[in-house]
Amino acid sequence: MKIIIIIYLIVTANLVSAQVTQEWVATYPGTGSGYNFPKKSAIDKDGNFIVAGNSDSTHGYDYIVLKYSPSGNLIWKQRYNGTGNSYDYLIGMVLDDSGNVYVTGESDDGAALGGINWVTIKYNTNGQMKWKRSLNWIGNNTDEPFGMNIDKDRNIYVVGFGRVTGTERALVTMKYSSNGDSIWVNSYTSLPSRSKLGIFC
């Protein structure tokens, strides 16, 4: 069983040497026998440390979000297992200025709901899911988000690929309000086969 290990370090430096002091270590063992690994991390306005990633389970991988206090105590954890009860792979995480947590990734929603879709989730500061939004593009096939960001008005942007056919992909950008309302979606289909994506606000 592989575990997520989080080490919080305080670094102090002077003109002569640098000293590193370990403040705390936290581990998360997951529920399966495979790998658990972090993808994104951030510190909120209160100094809490949030780490998001992927955790093995008996049915595949789940999203995992862990929130730790500045002293290393686990405040809350949330796993997300999609309706397909299979493959759920977290890609991105952002925080807003109130400490709400937004994550996105690809999730198996089952064949009836289009297979692998984008799934974006908002958790409040207490770890409660406030909303979940899915995107199943027109090809009803594997759709892959590649990143997310947030602007000063707390609007959420998610960018990635939407599968049109078995080989044709569209570059898709979604904009959500902080309440989860879809503000707009734009797409572009003339993509090279090895396109790489990023997103900035």
In this prediction, what percent of the chain has a pLDDT beyond 90? Answer: 48
The CATH number of whichever domain residue 170 belongs to comes to 2.120.10.30
Domain count along the chain:
1
Model pLDDT for residues 48-102, shown as the tens digit of each residue: 999 999 998 877 889 999 999 999 999 999 999 987 777 899 999 999 999 999 9
Distance CA 35, CA 5 (A): 12
Tell me the C-alpha to C-alpha distance, in Å, between residue 5 and each of 2, 24, 29, 108, 175.
9, 11, 9, 27, 33
Domain span at 127: 32-188
Lowest-confidence range among 34-48, 149-163, 180-194? 180-194
Q: Establish if 152 belongs to a structural domain.
A: yes
Q: Establish if 5 belongs to a structural domain.
A: no
Lowest-confidence range among 66-80, 107-121, 183-197? 183-197
The residue-averaged pLDDT of 23-43 equals: 83
On the question of pLDDT at 8 being above 90, the answer is no
- Going 180 to 196 to 111 to 114, the CA torsion angle's sign is positive
